[in-house]
Amino acid sequence: MGIYPEMIKYSIIVPFYNTQEYVKNILCWFAEQSAARTDLQLILVDDGSTNINYTFSYNVNLNIKLFAKTNGGVSSARNCGMNLADGEYILFLDSDDSFANDIFIKLDNIVTEGNNDIVIFSFDKVYNDKVVEVKNRAKHASGRYILSDFFTKKIRTHICSMVFSNRFVKKHDIRFTEGINYSEDVSFIVRAINVAKSIQVSNQVLFYYNFRDFSAMNRPFSYNSLQHLVSLKEIKHLDTIGLENEKSIFLATCYINLLRNIINNGVECKKVLDLFFDSFELLNLRHSFLSLRIFKGSVLFTALLSVLYKINGKFFKEIVYAKVDSK
């Protein structure tokens, strides 16, 4: 750990596992950022990388913490980083993604606009052949208002396109659920927004989310993928009084997105598909699923699935089984 002032404004938490080459890019970026200001902190959490023969070169005067731990998953690594964070605000960054070079200049203006618990900014989805901008409309509102917009897709965000007040997350003991490595960020986001008093949404693009061919969403649905459903269960049982219908729509949409993944990429084995359908009943998603008919943003695919399940749930399952078998 280098020499740095006591007042740290932003702590950037980067968990990594065998992605040291990407981390080197972040170190270069952080060195450039730190040349202009001294209130930044970078926290690198090595979540039990198997390739331990690596070295990082950086100026010891930079405020960088490197912590190595036994492998516990991304939730455990992020929680570890939060424990180490000294900054007034916390940001998360995955090792293969990036922030805009002027992110902290822009955030300085945003965070001072009010006593915000959370700031949400816009981002780009970067594919091999295209860039898709995910731009939100600028607004300032309570957490409950923003949560309604999040549930109904009027606001789109990513765990790395948000800034959290360190004091806020500590006060409410908001943590990632350890042992869960799929949709753990969605559960964290919902639980944080749900208790926030003040949130600022920015239309400025400050985060670049890189989609790679080896992404988990491009692989067959596996036993580990079922952890998505654990996160959905956390959200389902969260006290969101007054937003139950919006939450039902959100849960049904998430479930259908997972089903799309199964149809497109197949499953590891039939048992996984059985467990996936069992979760539909365990999560009591029948009402949520059918409520999509009132969601004006529904595409034809989701509308068709809603009708199929309403007519005959067993027939609906057989269609999916047949689709997977044809892969």
What digits encode the pLDDT tens for the residues 27-58?
999 999 999 999 999 999 999 999 877 778 77
Q: What's the mean pLDDT in 171-196?
A: 96
Q: What is the band of 315 on the pLDDT scale with cuts at 50, 70, 90?
A: very low
Q: What's the mean pLDDT in 140-162?
A: 97
Half-sphere exposure of 8 (CA within 13 A, CB side): 23
Q: What is the band of 4 on the pLDDT scale with cuts at 50, 70, 90?
A: very low
Contacts of residue 32, defined as CB under 8 A and 6 or more positions apart, other chains included, come to: 101
Q: Report angle CA 83, 86, 90 to the nearest 5 degrees.
A: 80
The helix or strand, by DSSP H or E, that contains position 205, with its residue range, turns out to be strand 199-210
- Distance separating alpha carbons of residues 254 and 252, to the nearest angstrom: 5
Q: What per-residue confidence (pLDDT) applies to 323?
A: 53
Task: Please tell me whether residue 130 adopts helix, strand or coil conformation.
Answer: coil
- Distance separating alpha carbons of residues 77 and 73, to the nearest angstrom: 6
Q: What is the band of 248 on the pLDDT scale with cuts at 50, 70, 90?
A: confident
Q: Using an 8 Å Cβ cutoff, are 235 and 186 in contact?
A: yes
Q: What per-residue confidence (pLDDT) applies to 154?
A: 96
Residue 317 has pLDDT above 90, yes or no: no
- Distance separating alpha carbons of residues 92 and 163, to the nearest angstrom: 8
Q: What's the mean pLDDT in 228-235?
A: 93
Q: Using an 8 Å Cβ cutoff, are 47 and 71 in contact?
A: yes
| Torsion 281-284-286-288 (CA) sign | negative
Q: What residue type is 285 in one-letter code?
A: L
Q: What per-residue confidence (pLDDT) applies to 310?
A: 46
Q: What per-residue confidence (pLDDT) applies to 13?
A: 98
Phi/psi at 267 (5° precision):
-130, 160
- Distance separating alpha carbons of residues 186 and 234, to the nearest angstrom: 10
- Distance separating alpha carbons of residues 93 and 234, to the nearest angstrom: 23
First CA to last CA across the chain, in angstroms? Answer: 51
> To which residue do tokens 């940001």 refer?
91
Q: What per-residue confidence (pLDDT) applies to 318?
A: 58
* % pLDDT > 70, the chain: 82
- Distance separating alpha carbons of residues 279 and 159, to the nearest angstrom: 25
